[in-house]
């Protein structure tokens, strides 16, 4: 089974028809399980409203939502020890850490370079 945690930047590229969108859509189809924080939906809806993109619930058909049932303090601290990220980017990487004790077991999919560097430093496949 191939698992990926997906950051909002990946879906934004697809929805807004950016040059990275088609390759990203193909890449996501390679995974048997896609995970994301439900923050992704809020970020994507906001981006679609701002950029007049078309939002579709179908984008999330293959996703499983990550709903932490406790503080992500340990994960947030671990991410920040690997490098600084802004709030939402920090939250996504922390949620990915929350779902796996072994970051090397899953991929972290993002188009944000800083987030990619930090996720790689934590051991995620990027």
CB-CB contact of 37 with 109 (8 Å): no
The per-residue pLDDT for 81 is 98
Number of domains in the chain: 1
CATH number for the domain spanning 92: value is 3.40.50.1010
58-117 pLDDT, tens digit per residue, is: 888 899 999 999 999 999 999 999 999 999 999 999 999 999 989 999 999 999 999 999
pLDDT in tens, 37-56: 999 999 999 999 999 988 88
Which of the four pLDDT bands, split at 50, 70 and 90, describes residue 27?
very high
Which pLDDT band holds residue 19 (cuts at 50, 70, 90)? Answer: very high
| Residue 77 within a domain | yes
- Per residue, what are the HEC states of the chain? CCEEEECHHHHHHHHCCCCCHHHHHHHHHCCCEEEEECHHHHHHHHHHHHHCCCCCHHHHCCEEEECCCCCCHHHHHHHHHHCCCCHHHHHHHHHHHHHCCCHHHCEEECCCHHHHHHHHHCCCEC
Asked, for residue 126, whether it belongs to a domain, the answer is: no
This prediction has a pTM of: 0.95
Question: Containing domain of residue 30, as a range?
Answer: 3-121
Classify residue 39: in a domain, yes or no. yes
């Amino acid at each position: 089974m191939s698992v990926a945690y997906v950051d909002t930047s990946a879906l934004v590229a697809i929805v807004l028809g950016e040059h990275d969108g088609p390759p990203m859509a193909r890449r996501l189809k390679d995974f048997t399980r896609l995970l994301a924080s439900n923050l992704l939906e809020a970020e994507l809806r906001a981006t679609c409203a701002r950029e007049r993109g078309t939002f579709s619930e179908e984008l999330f058909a293959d996703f499983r939502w990550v709903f932490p049932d406790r503080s992500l303090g340990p994960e947030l601290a671990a991410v920040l020890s690997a490098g600084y990220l802004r709030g939402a980017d920090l939250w996504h990487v922390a949620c990915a850490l929350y779902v796996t004790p072994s970051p090397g077991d899953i991929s972290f999919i993002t188009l944000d370079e800083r987030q990619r560097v930090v996720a790689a430093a934590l051991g995620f496949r990027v």
